[in-house]
Amino acid sequence: MEGICYKNLIISLVVILASSLTTHSAIEKPYQEASTVFIRTSCSSTTYPRLCYASLVKHADLIQTDRVLLTGAALNVTLASAKSTSAMMSTLAKSRGLQPREVAAMKDCVEVLGDSVDELRRSIDEMNHLKPSNFELTMGDVQTWVSAALTDESTCTDGFQGSAATTEDANNDIKSTVRGRVVQVAQLTSNALALINQLANSHA
Ligand SMILES: *[C@@H]1O[C@H](CO)[C@@H](O)[C@H](O)[C@H]1NC(C)=O
């Protein structure tokens, strides 16, 4: 009995010593690989898998292979993008030479993006309190809010759809930049919603 315990202790010490001698990257690599595969697999069922993977792989260390953390990271990335796009549009709305119609469209976008920022914040906050006992209720709320955020963002991209009809329009650069950014926010939101649905279904 004592012999076995002693042997276990030696083994533990050897493992600890070996771990401390090995470089960090060598220890972390298998985890990172597992996480990378997990992120790629989870993203493969989203509508924009490449954007999904590229936006989340930076957070692989945090996500590991945890669905809740993956969903939280996707919401974080989406929120950051919605916030910075909204700030950029507030600035661009003050650009010289914009048509009143364009200024109005930008202001409308800033407003709906503000709504979607609120909805994403609320979702992240509620996800932070996710427990087995409130799982279905929480996931239902988060699905509702993120869907609403996606609808708000679509309103904004619609507002810019027809406005770049003339190629001589000096504001086409601004408008295509804005459209591109908002489209990306909407794509990130769509991906986050797909991951939320995956998480919701994983407990069904
Ligand atoms: C989301 O962002 C918050 C605040 O920056 C951070 O504390 C948290 O770890 C992030 N969560 C995930 C899952 O990335």
Which atom of ligand 1 lies at the shortest distance from residue 73's CA? 14
Structure tokens at 71: 């969903």
pLDDT digits (tens, 9 = 90+) for 78-98: 999 999 999 999 998 888 888
Name the 3-class secondary structure at 152: helix
Q: Name the residue among 89, 111, 73 with its Cα closest to residue 191.
A: 73
Residue 76 Cα to ligand 1 midpoint, Å, equals 6
Residue nearest to atom 2 of ligand 1 (CA): 76
Residue 192 Cα to ligand 1 midpoint, Å, equals 14
Which atom of ligand 1 lies at the shortest distance from residue 72's CA? 13
Output the ligand 1 site: residues, CB below 6 A.
59, 62, 69, 72-73, 76
pLDDT digits (tens, 9 = 90+) for 46-67: 999 999 999 999 999 999 999 9
pLDDT attached to residue 101: 85
For 67-202, CATH number out of 3.30.1050.10, 3.40.50.1470, 3.40.190.10, 1.20.140.40 equals 1.20.140.40
Residue 189 Cα to ligand 1 midpoint, Å, equals 16
pLDDT attached to residue 157: 78
User: CB-based contacts of 28: which residues, under 8 Å, 6+ apart?
Assistant: 61
- Which residues of the chain carry a pLDDT beneath 50? 1, 23-26
Structure tokens at 72: 């939280």
Contacts of range 159-163, beta carbons closer than 8 Å, 24 or more positions apart: 159/105, 159/108, 159/109, 160/105, 160/109, 163/101, 163/102, 163/105
Residue nearest to atom 3 of ligand 1 (CA): 76
pLDDT attached to residue 93: 86
Residue 184 Cα to ligand 1 midpoint, Å, equals 20
What's the chain's average pLDDT? Answer: 86
Which residue has tokens 């669905």? 67
DSSP-derived letter for residue 204 is -
pLDDT attached to residue 162: 56
Residue among 76, 142, 199 whose CB has most ligand 1 atoms within 8 A, to mutate? 76
Domain ranges of the chain: 67-202
pLDDT attached to residue 23: 47
Read off the pTM: 0.81
Distance between CA atoms of 58 and 185, rounded to whole angstroms?
18
pLDDT attached to residue 94: 87
Residue nearest to atom 1 of ligand 1 (CA): 76
Structure tokens at 144: 């509702």
